[in-house]
Structures are given as structure tokens and as C-alpha cells.
């Protein structure tokens, strides 16, 4: 059964915008904001993660011109050895919920996995780095070019 994106035009009563899983890979996102989070950095280091710095980022987009606005956010860190920007703990926050061909929720674990896969193809580190560059300036002189992973 093929589900039309127009069937998923507004958030449900629980706030999620439900979309077929395959549409998560087509998600177009625009950077909204990013910042540094010292508490997150402390938490990452407490988990023995080699992080130079850390923060958050928020993005938004639509799946179809007639559908509701969707939001995606995640915590990130700069990996100490490579200088790469990575998604902290592989976790993503969103108002999206993936559904199967029958419209049944896939759950947040599957939805998050699909979103992380999409984000791996998005050059998110460049806008994030540009947005937090002033805060990072002087703190990490070795980071002349930012990488994404």
C-alpha cells in the first residue's frame, strides 16, 4: 500500500507528525540555531568520550509543501582526535514519528535510527561550526577546518 504524504499533513494529538519511514530519508532541513553546552561537554567527558567541545543544534523543514513543519534537534561534540563533529550518543529529538505501510508507529528507536542515517548525508557540521565559531574562537586553535561524521 502506498501512503500519500498528504495523509500526514498535521501533528496528531500527541504532537508527532507521522510519516512513512522512506520519507525520512527525503527530509529537507534548514538550520535554525546552534550553541555551546558546557553541561553536555561535562556529561560526555564523564562517559569517557574524548570531546573537545559540545553543543546543540536545531533544524526544521517540511516533507511536502502541504505538510506541517517538522523539527529535528540533536546534541553534538567535536571528537578530540579527529576534530570531527559527531552526534552525541547517536540520539536525535524530533516531532517526527516513522510509520510502516499500514500506518503503525515504528517507535522512537527506529525513527531516530532513520533520522541519524539522513543526518549522516546532511552537511550539518558546516552551519553548526559557522554558528558557534565565535564561541569556539581561541578555545581550539587546532580546528582550522571542520569535518562531519
In this structure, what C-alpha cell is assigned to residue 35? 550553541
pTM of the model: 0.83
**Integer Cα distance of 146 and 149 in angstroms:** 10
In this structure, what C-alpha cell is assigned to residue 82? 579527529
Range of the domain at 113: 5-148
The structural domain count of the chain equals 1
Angle at 49 between CA 147 and CA 84, to 5 degrees: 0
The per-residue pLDDT for 117 is: 95
Segment 36-72, tens digit of pLDDT: 999 999 999 999 999 999 999 999 998 777 677 899 9
- The CATH number covering residue 59 comes to 3.10.450.610
Amino acid at each position: 500500500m502506498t501512503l500519500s504524504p498528504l495523509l500526514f499533513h498535521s501533528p496528531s494529538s500527541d504532537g508527532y507528525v507521522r510519516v512513512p519511514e522512506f520519507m525520512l530519508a527525503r527530509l529537507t532541513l534548514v538550520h535554525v540555531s546552534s550553541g555551546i553546552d558546557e553541561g553536555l561537554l561535562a556529561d560526555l567527558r564523564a562517559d569517557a568520550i574524548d570531546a573537545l567541545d559540545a553543543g546543540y543544534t536545531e533544524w526544521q523543514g517540511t516533507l511536502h509543501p502541504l505538510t506541517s513543519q517538522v523539527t529535528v534537534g540533536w546534541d553534538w561534540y567535536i571528537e578530540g582526535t579527529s576534530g570531527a563533529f559527531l552526534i552525541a550518543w547517536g540520539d536525535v529529538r524530533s516531532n517526527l514519528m516513522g510509520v510502516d505501510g499500514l500506518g503503525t508507529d515504528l517507535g522512537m528507536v527506529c525513527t531516530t535510527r532513520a533520522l541519524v542515517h539522513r543526518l549522516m548525508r546532511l552537511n550539518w557540521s558546516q552551519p553548526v561550526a559557522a554558528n558557534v565559531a565565535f564561541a569556539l574562537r581561541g578555545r581550539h586553535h587546532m580546528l582550522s577546518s571542520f569535518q562531519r561524521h
